[in-house]
Structure 1
Amino acid sequence: MATSSRTKNRASRAERSRETRRRVVAAAGELFVRDGYLQTTMADIARQAGVAVQTLYLSFGSKVAVLVAALDVAIVGDDEPVPVLERPWVARLRDEPDGVAALKVFVEAASQVIDRVYPLYAATRDASADPELAEVLDRNKRLRFVTHGAITRELAAKAGFTPGLSVERATQIVYTLLSQETYGLLVVERGWTVPEWSDWVRRHIQAELFAEPPPS
Structure 2
Amino acid sequence: MSEEVKRSYSSPLREQAALQTRALVRSAGHRLFVSSGFVATSMRAIAAEAGVSERTVYTHYRNKVELFQDALNVAVAGDSEPVAMRDREFFGELLRVSAAQELIDRAVAGNVVVLERAGALIMAGVESAGADADMRRISDEGESAMRANCLAIAEALVATGEVLPSLDVSAVADVLKTMMSPHVHQVLGWPAERYGGWLAHSLKASLLTP
Q: Distance in 2 between matches of 1:144 and 1:118?
A: 13
Deviation sequence 1:156-209 (CA, Å, 0-9, x none): 33352344632222111100111112112222xxxx443333222222322343
1:11-30 paired onto structure 2 within 5 Å: 11-30=12-31
Q: Distance in 2 between matches of 1:38 and 1:63?
A: 9
TM-score, normalised to structure 2, is 0.83
Are 1:154 and 2:156 matched, yes or no?
yes
Q: Distance in 2 between matches of 1:6 and 1:155?
A: 55
Structure 1 partner of 2:175: 173
Q: Mean alpha-carbon deviation: is it higher for 36-45 or for 5-14?
A: 5-14
TM-score, normalised to structure 1, is 0.81
Are 1:134 and 2:136 matched, yes or no?
yes
Q: Distance in 2 between matches of 1:210 and 1:4?
A: 64
Q: Mean alpha-carbon deviation: is it higher for 87-96 or for 20-29?
A: 87-96
Partner of 2:35: helix, strand, or coil?
helix
Partner of 1:135: helix, strand, or coil?
helix
Q: Distance in 1 between matches of 2:132 and 2:86?
A: 30
**Which blocks of at least 5 consecutive residues in structure 1 are unaligned?**
none
Structure 2 partner of 1:144: 146
For the Cα contact (< 8 Å) 2:179–2:199, is it kept in 1?
yes
Shift of 1:61: 1.2
Q: Mean alpha-carbon deviation: is it higher for 26-35 or for 148-157?
A: 148-157
Q: 1:156 to 1:12 in 2, by over 3 A?
A: farther
Partner letter of residue 135 of structure 1? Answer: R
Structure 2 partner of 1:205: 203
Are 1:112 and 2:110 matched, yes or no?
no
Across the two proteins, how many residue pairs are aligned to each other?
208
1:180-195 paired onto structure 2 within 5 Å: 180-187=182-189, 192-195=190-193
Are 1:57 and 2:55 matched, yes or no?
no
Q: 1:171 to 1:4 in 2, by over 3 A?
A: farther
Partner letter of residue 204 of structure 2? Answer: Q
Partner of 1:165: helix, strand, or coil?
coil
Partner letter of residue 90 of structure 1? Answer: F
Q: 1:167 to 1:3 in 2, by over 3 A?
A: farther
Partner letter of residue 44 of structure 1? Answer: A
For the Cα contact (< 8 Å) 2:120–2:186, is it kept in 1?
no
Shift of 1:118: 2.2
Q: Distance in 1 between matches of 2:161 and 2:4?
A: 55
1:76-95 paired onto structure 2 within 5 Å: 76-87=77-88, 89-95=90-96
Structure 2 partner of 1:38: 39
Partner letter of residue 118 of structure 1? Answer: G
Deviation sequence 1:108-140 (CA, Å, 0-9, x none): 110221122222223223322222222222222
For the Cα contact (< 8 Å) 1:93–1:106, is it kept in 2?
yes
Shift of 1:78: 2.4
Shift of 1:34: 2.2
Question: Percent of counterpart pairs with the same letter?
Answer: 26
Shift of 1:90: 2.4
Q: Distance in 2 between matches of 1:12 and 1:157?
A: 50
